[in-house]
Structure 1
Amino acid sequence: MRPIIRTTDAELEKLQHASFNYFLHETNPANGLVIDKTEADWPASIAATGLALASYPVAVERGFMSHDAAVKRTLATLRFFWNSPQGPEPDATGYRGFYYHFLDMQTGRRAWQCELSTIASAFLLAGALTAGRYFDADTADEREIRTLADALYRRADWPWAQNQGATVTHGWKPESGFLNYRWEGYDEALLLYILGLGSPTHPLPESAYAAWAATYRWEHSYGYDYLYAGPLFTHQLSHIWIDFRGIQDAFMRSKGIDYFENSRRATYVQHEYAIDNPLKFAHFGGHCWGLTASEGPGPDTINVAGIERQFFDYLARGVPYGPDDGTIAPWAVAASLPFAPEIVLPVLDYCI
């Protein structure tokens, strides 16, 4: 049996540094756009770009990036989004203060006839606001960062994104109008609704948040009562920007917990699911868990040890109801470190 070695702070910092290097090396420095994944001719993701904006201050504090380099990269990104084409034209970059999910890495124009994404725009705006708070020096560049971050946030028209409904739609396309799907059921849209409610110019009504929370599912699984969402990332993303410890809305007050505690419980459900391993995948267990949205080995159906297994490519995998094709995303476990270090560190010990 492989001995368990305690993961050191230096090893955790090395892991963090290596992860940050994606944003350092997979970005167009001219416009700040970050490629969605490292595949030839792939477009940028505005969600990844928002995460990059949020990571630059951390990188400066950790010594992974100089302050001047972070200012330069951040300013290039915010200038691009502020000055890029906003309009109903099908090849624009955005519309109504929101942006298309995928953009051409060089031109910054809409890629793949994708949707104007409300959730990806929320991550982008959250990253911009992070930059606006962090870069607080009285210099021309940092004053411009603050001005642009505020202007981008103020431009988003959240009530328009409701399309006369109670909740917020997933997005819009110039060819067909609003998407049929809405942000309902607990998920990463927690951040979206908070940003929408807080807008100083085009705020969502309080009723929008109440309508969203009315679609929650409180469940019991593997010994834990929690607000259900299957993939791990849904319990993590909003927490990048907001420390929810001690913050409760009406729903959480009724349950006697907060969203941080809920994410801790969801992490344990994932851990216990892997130990239970209902679909009998090889190696699932206490040191091998973490189902979330990720790439996969499919699409394909393969006979594995006498069992026909269906495998998917990119998919939001989750527990306990699936989908589960045996694909583990190690990053999802590492990102659970703030919520449950006692079960995450042993996995990192095993892997590092």
Structure 2
Amino acid sequence: MMQRQSHVKRPHSGETRLDALQRHAFDYFLNETNLANGLVADKSQPGAPASIAAVGFALAAYPVGVERAWISRISAIDRTLAALRFFSNAPQGTDPDTTGHKGFFYHFLDMTTGRRAGICELSTVDTGFLLAGTLAAAAYFDRNSEDEQEIRSLADALYRRADWQWACNGGATITHGWTPEGGFLPYRWEGYDEASLLYVLALGSPTHPLAAEGYIAWTSTYQWKEIYGYEFIYGGPLFIHQYSHIWIDFRGIQDAFTRGKGIDYFENSRRATYVQQEYAIRNPLEFAGYGENFWGLTASDGPGWTTRRVNGIERAFFDYAARGVPYGPDDGTVAPWAVVASLPFAPEIVLPTIAHFQDVYPQVTGAYCFRCSFNLSFQDEADADAGWTSPYHFGINLGPVVLMCENFRTDLLWRLMRACPYVVTGLRRAGFTGGWL
């Protein structure tokens, strides 16, 4: 029997708080975007390159902005077209100074020129988030005007261009990426992770689809664990249980693996959210702050690769790392945005935690909603109680805040993507049945 808690009564007292939180997160995409090409900065640090995943989040966030009157439909169309035209026309090929190859794009791009930034990889998963954003835009901008027709046409062409068979490099599963200097990266998308969306998009392609066996190969690498009394498909960092759910409504639909376990992926993420809270309550490593309303370990910025003696204990601290529960790594750094992104799964524990972070720790609120992360155990020499707070905001953190708040409030992105034939095809080829499918 499936344990369903997707229809929890939604509290109304936090509505004003959610309005402000979501709006301030949306402001990142208003202010950190190059209007000439639609590229969005990876983070608020001056000189930061563009992140193609952040562009994907922006493309999905613009419809939210239109619906909530934070941006006009005309302005949203202009921004969307700027990005789609850029990616459609940007140079592709094996030359190291291009924007992409085989329909995929480099993880980071120069904000002005749009060419590859540094020696980063051609990223399959980040291209997946970008393509999901283009498909969301195509689903939303459905009018017969010339501009909206162009959005749909460009989005369709970009999606059809990605060569998922090439990205497998002869194997069943999708590789992490490729560089012109070294070829394919040695890693593949295996084990439960944020790649659910990637596999659905690859399976739904009408031009270069992933073989159905690829999805079976991926799910065969799952780890089913019982932690703190919750049985679920294990993934330590919280974002693993969120990113694909931003786009795909997994409520009530099941593939072969989840059918066999009597759950769906939405319920799986609900359990993972509760495991995060329970870990913080138990606080096995005795970090400052952790508790019922202070949790959220995920991939995030950190105080730096260093060690410090804190209250007589030698502590190791990390920079940007994928922190996870319960096996670590954990250095006392939590990410409030990641709590917000679990809002649809467990509002009854997320809303009080949001309020706690905002009311008790004002240092973690910046220009755009929450800063990336903070750590009370990494003591500030000037103010021991303040700890460390990331100075930056990241596009791939704030996109989930905007979109998961909206999915919780109106199901907007879920409704748009349920209407996308490529997503429906991908889910069916992956073996999903039931529910809205």
TM normalised by structure 2 equals 0.79
Alignment match, 1:83: 89
- Structure 1 contact 89–174 (Cα < 8 Å) conserved: yes
Distance 1:315 1:38 in 2: 18
Alignment match, 1:119: 125
Alignment match, 1:8: 14
Among residues 183, 200, 203, which one is paired with 2:206 in the alignment? 200
Distance 1:28 1:301 in 2: 39
- Structure 2 contact 40–52 (Cα < 8 Å) conserved: yes
Q: Which runs of 5+ in 1 are unaligned?
A: none
Question: 2:291 aligned with 1:282, yes or no?
Answer: no
Q: What is the 5 A alignment of 1:180-219?
A: 180-219=186-225
Alignment match, 1:325: 331
Partner AA of 2:127 in structure 1:
S
Partner AA of 1:189 in structure 2:
A
Among residues 92, 100, 105, which one is paired with 2:106 in the alignment? 100
SS at match of 2:333: coil
Distance 1:234 1:42 in 2: 25
Among residues 32, 37, 42, which one is paired with 2:38 in the alignment? 32
Q: What is the 5 A alignment of 1:249-288?
A: 249-288=255-294
SS at match of 1:302: strand
Quote how far apart the aligned CAs of 1:6 are: 8.0
Question: 2:250 aligned with 1:244, yes or no?
Answer: yes
Distance 2:144 2:295 in 1: 47
Quote how far apart the aligned CAs of 1:345 are: 1.0
Q: Which runs of 5+ in 2 are unaligned?
A: 1-10, 359-437
Alignment match, 2:387: none
Distance 1:318 1:351 in 2: 20
Alignment match, 1:154: 160
Partner AA of 1:283 in structure 2:
G
Question: 2:57 aligned with 1:65, yes or no?
Answer: no
Distance 1:307 1:246 in 2: 46
Distance 2:354 2:316 in 1: 28
SS at match of 2:70: coil
Deviations 1:128-149 (A, max 9, x none): 0000000011011000000000
Alignment match, 1:227: 233
Distance 2:20 2:302 in 1: 26
Alignment match, 1:130: 136
Alignment match, 2:297: 291
SS at match of 1:172: strand
Among residues 167, 174, 181, which one is paired with 2:180 in the alignment? 174
Distance 1:282 1:13 in 2: 30
- Structure 1 contact 7–345 (Cα < 8 Å) conserved: no
Distance 1:50 1:148 in 2: 14
Distance 2:316 2:38 in 1: 38
- Structure 2 contact 336–354 (Cα < 8 Å) conserved: no
Quote how far apart the aligned CAs of 1:317 are: 0.5
Alignment match, 2:59: 53
- Structure 1 contact 219–227 (Cα < 8 Å) conserved: yes
Quote how far apart the aligned CAs of 1:316 are: 0.7
Among residues 317, 336, 345, which one is paired with 2:342 in the alignment? 336
- Structure 1 contact 218–228 (Cα < 8 Å) conserved: yes
- Structure 2 contact 51–107 (Cα < 8 Å) conserved: yes
- Structure 1 contact 7–348 (Cα < 8 Å) conserved: no
User: Identity of aligned pairs, percent?
Assistant: 68
Quote how far apart the aligned CAs of 1:351 are: 2.8
| Structure 1 pair 6–310 and aligned structure 2 pair: CA distance change class (3 A) | farther
Equivalent residues, number: 348
- Structure 2 contact 336–357 (Cα < 8 Å) conserved: no
Alignment match, 1:300: 306
Deviations 1:77-111 (A, max 9, x none): 00000000011100100000000000000000001
Quote how far apart the aligned CAs of 1:40 are: 2.4
Distance 2:172 2:108 in 1: 27
The answer to which of 253-262 and 60-69 deviates more is: 60-69
Distance 2:156 2:12 in 1: 43
SS at match of 1:301: strand
Quote how far apart the aligned CAs of 1:7 are: 4.4
- Structure 1 contact 7–349 (Cα < 8 Å) conserved: no
